[in-house]
């Protein structure tokens, strides 16, 4: 159902990983608050499932943007920006939910392909897409970019390998970008650290963990995209509603 208070009405928001657990929640929450969303992701069938839920719930019709961020060419990225501008005329928000983790083990044993895939999706792809969309974003009122990160980027614990390194790099990129636009009034850049949330990616590391579902983050995504957002620039947001798992520290790391 559409919210009774359409706080994002008239705003246009692009979400990466929109076919995944967090990305779908972000897209449906923003659409439910009145935004027109662009669903970007690698798997068309998953994007279509998110699209169908938004339409059934009465949200504005989304735009589909199937794209593999890890392999996207400059021409494909430019085509996304061009399509958004020509079809929608503006872009007010960008939420990076796309994430990749297929290896938990020692850095000594990580393969080149595993290292490259983790950085390409979690860091380099986010950088390249953001860079391409910056001209469009900064022409819009109160534009916002949000990078979904992970507590492992701060903890830097053993056996989290390329995923933790990539997320740490993503955080550095986001904060440098925030500082570059600080005071300009044209762009807010923030980090969202959800904590333990029951997603497919999280279950790879903690299969027995009890944690809240991704829907707990829906209000936060909307607040971050509002033109009158309660969040400033360069913040790290860790929603209090998402409590840490009581068993997280007891689970053994997978060592391969």
Query: How much of the chain is in helix, strand and coil states, percent to nearest 5?
Result: 45, 15, 40
Tokens of 252: 């053994």
CA distances from 138 to 86, 131, 193, 226, 245 (A): 16, 11, 24, 15, 38
Rg (CA), the chain: 17
- Rounded CA separation 1/147 (Å): 27
What are the φ and ψ backbone dihedral angles of 16, each rounded to 5 degrees? -85, 155
- Rounded CA separation 65/159 (Å): 34
Catalytic entry in 51, 103, 163, 181: 163
163 is catalytic: yes
In the chain, alpha helices (H): 21-32, 44-56, 74-88, 112-119, 125-137, 152-155, 161-181, 200-205, 218-225
Return the active site residues. 163
């Amino acid at each position: 159902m559409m919210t009774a208070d359409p706080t994002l009405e008239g705003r246009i928001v692009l979400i990466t990983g929109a076919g995944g657990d967090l990305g779908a929640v972000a897209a449906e929450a923003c659409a439910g608050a009145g935004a027109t969303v662009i669903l970007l992701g690698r798997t068309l069938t998953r994007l279509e499932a998110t699209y169908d839920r938004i339409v059934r719930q009465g949200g504005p019709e989304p735009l589909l943007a199937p794209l593999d961020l890890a392999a996207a060419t400059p021409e494909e990225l430019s085509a996304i920006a061009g399509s958004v501008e020509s079809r929608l005329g503006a872009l007010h928000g960008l939420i990076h939910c796309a994430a990749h983790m297929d290896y938990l083990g020692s850095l000594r044993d990580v393969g080149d392909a595993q290292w490259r895939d983790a950085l390409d999706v979690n860091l380099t792809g986010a950088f390249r897409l953001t860079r391409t969309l910056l001209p469009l974003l900064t022409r819009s009122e109160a534009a916002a970019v949000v990078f979904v990160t992970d507590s492992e980027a701060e903890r830097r614990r053993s056996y989290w390998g390329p995923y933790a390194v990539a997320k740490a790099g993503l955080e550095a990129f986001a904060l440098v970008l925030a500082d570059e636009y600080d005071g300009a009034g044209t762009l807010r850049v923030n980090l969202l650290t959800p904590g333990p949330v029951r997603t497919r990616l999280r279950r790879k590391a903690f299969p027995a963990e009890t944690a809240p579902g991704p829907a707990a983050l829906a209000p936060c995504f909307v607040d971050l995209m509002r033109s009158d957002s309660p969040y400033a620039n360069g913040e790290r947001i860790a929603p209090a509603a998402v409590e840490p798992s009581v068993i997280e520290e007891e689970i053994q790391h997978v060592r391969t």
